[in-house]
Amino acid sequence: MFDVLVYLYENYWRPDACPEHAQLSRKLTSVGFESDEIEDALSWLDGLTTVAESQAKAQSPLSLRVYTPAEQDHLGTASIAFLSFLESAGVLPAPMREIAVDRAMATTGELALEDLKIIVLMVFWSIGEEPDALILDELFVDVEDRLIH
């Protein structure tokens, strides 16, 4: 599913630039994605659209996010720390964090930090906002691949 999401991010500048599901599904199949992977990604994207549209825009900047035990188990320490890092850096406002947590919880299986980074990227994509270059670097480049200057 995450490979499909990355493909969509790289090929469509916004969700509304994507063709309808049937046409998009055919295109993704022709590119080489499996049908179950496509279905999972499109269903996940529908959920992203629903959550993004319903998410309250006004949350107090003084609010504190407490993760439930289920969220802690599914997200893991590294992912929660990464979300906290993005929020404290001022690049992931609370409403966007909540969308990211919701979409992360909508995934099945173990959620790796790399998968959470794709989810955060898709949250930015869903609202038509591109993160700044440093955040894109954090979301895309593996730590082992970075050049130290």
Whether 105 shows a pLDDT value over 70: the answer reads: yes
Q: What is the mean pLDDT of residues 96-112?
A: 93
Report how far residue 127's alpha carbon sits from residue 96's, in angstroms, rounded to the nearest whole number.
Answer: 9
- What does the CA dihedral 40, 142, 78, 121 come to, rounded to 10 degrees? -50
Say which amino acid occupies 2.
Answer: F
pLDDT for 61: 65
Single pTM value for the model: 0.84
Report how far residue 38's alpha carbon sits from residue 34's, in angstroms, rounded to the nearest whole number.
Answer: 6
Confidence band (pLDDT; 50, 70, 90) for 70? Answer: very high
pLDDT for 116: 95
What the block records as the tokens of 130 is 């591109």
SS3 (DSSP) at 118: helix
Decide if 83 contacts 92 (C-beta within 8 A): yes
Q: What is the mean pLDDT of residues 131-140?
A: 71
Q: What is the mean pLDDT of residues 3-28?
A: 88
Give the residue among 89, 86, 87, 99 at the shortest CA–CA distance from 127.
99
132 versus 117: which is more confidently predicted? Answer: 117
